[in-house]
Amino acid sequence: MLDKSIPYVGIIMRRTAGSPLPDATLPPGYGFVYFKNGDEKDWARIETSVLEFDDEMDALLYFQKDFIAFLPETERRCLFIQNPEGEKVATGTAWWAYDGVKRVPLLHWIAVKPQYQDMGLGKAVSAKVLRLICEIEGDRDVYLSTQTWSHRAVAIYRQMGFQIVKEKTKIGHYENDKYEVAIDVLRSLGPRFSDL
């Protein structure tokens, strides 16, 4: 869930090609499933539950604009984690963006419903999406965009080999132009960011 009690600063992170891939371990009874047409409602519900959107309709409109137009790619790149009852409780997408003219792999829209957080699902879906990126795009540098409001996720991404990009960078419409401000906000959150 986003922590909107701290200043918002956009962050771009990069995982260097050749880094070891983390394991995608799930609790018993949980499983990965690929997106199929109609699952956009589940995606919208998950993303809205973590406050990425104000309401599910906004999330659905975003999904239709950015993903439905690429339906065959969405079906092979968007994943969910289902709980033992078949409810979709987490999601992540092996997408892409451009850093000017070059297309780069993107770990995109990782989210876990709040009541399912602290179970390792965020790390598991991120690891599974990273493996999917390697299958589709090859072993390349992988990027993600996030923000200080997602500091819990930033800590997980760092454990998975992502580093905050220091130089001014633009990936798609995401910008990384306030590195020092972002680092100051993260350091203020305690020991897990003391090494920045």
Question: How many CA atoms lie less than 13 Å away from 106 in the CB half-sphere?
Answer: 21
| CB neighbourhood size of 21 (10 A) | 15
Task: Identify the band that residue 99 occupies on the pLDDT scale cut at 50, 70 and 90.
Answer: confident
Kindly report the pTM of this predicted structure: 0.94
Domain ranges of the chain: 10-189
Structure confidence by residue, pLDDT tens digits, 46-86 = 999 999 999 999 999 999 999 999 999 999 999 999 999 99
Q: What is the number of H-type helices and E-type strands within the chain?
A: 6, 9
Give residue 189's pLDDT. Answer: 95
Distance from C-alpha of 98 to C-alpha of 82, rounded to nearest angstrom: 31
Whether residue 34 has pLDDT greater than 80? yes
Distance from C-alpha of 157 to C-alpha of 15, rounded to nearest angstrom: 9
Q: Beta strands 142-147 and 174-176: pairing type? A: unpaired
CATH class of 10-189: alpha beta
Whether residue 169 has pLDDT greater than 90? no
Tokens representing 14? 């990069």
Task: Identify the band that residue 190 occupies on the pLDDT scale cut at 50, 70 and 90.
Answer: very high
Please provide the distance, in angstroms rounded to a whole number, between the alpha carbons at the two ends of the chain: 23
Tokens representing 175? 């910008």
Tokens representing 55? 């309401």
Task: Identify the band that residue 6 occupies on the pLDDT scale cut at 50, 70 and 90.
Answer: very high
Distance from C-alpha of 38 to C-alpha of 20, rounded to nearest angstrom: 34
| CB neighbourhood size of 130 (10 A) | 24
